Amino acid sequence: MSKIQQIVIILIVAFATMITRFLPFIVFPANKETPSYIKYLGKVLPAAVLGLLVVYSLKDVSIFNEFHTLPEAISIAVIVLLHFWKRQMILSISAGTILYMFLIQFIFK
């Protein structure tokens, strides 16, 4: 790849990044009221994305394997309990991920 191509690619990526950052402020200025459908999406999309993440994470789990999804079930239980106890998403997700990795690496080999 030549230097010109590299510079053009960097400029295109920078422009696309800046557009995605500035576009919401251009489309929805502060002096106008935000449309109701945008407010609705702001309420429902975080839960929908987390639900999609759970489905995607568990799509290849088989109940017919040797341990019958025990590491996944234990990790999900820890995530749910930690989240209801502390109400900190970063803590519950990272603790569940660390526990899952520990379980599949050392306990359920």
DSSP per position, 9-25: HHHHHHHHHHHHHHHHH
Q: In this structure, are 26 and 38 located in the same domain? A: no
Q: In this structure, are 93 and 106 located in the same domain? A: yes
For residue 43, what are the domain limits? Answer: 33-61
pLDDT of residue 61: 86
Instruction: Give the amino acid at 53.
Output: L
H-helix or E-strand containing 57? helix 36-58
Domain count, the chain: 3
The span from the CA of 5 to the CA of 70, in Å, is 51
Digitized pLDDT (tens) for each residue of the chain, 109 residues in all: 899 999 999 999 999 999 999 998 999 898 999 899 999 999 999 999 989 988 998 898 888 877 778 999 999 999 999 999 999 989 999 999 999 999 999 998 7
The span from the CA of 41 to the CA of 90, in Å, is 22
pLDDT of residue 6: 97
pLDDT of residue 105: 94
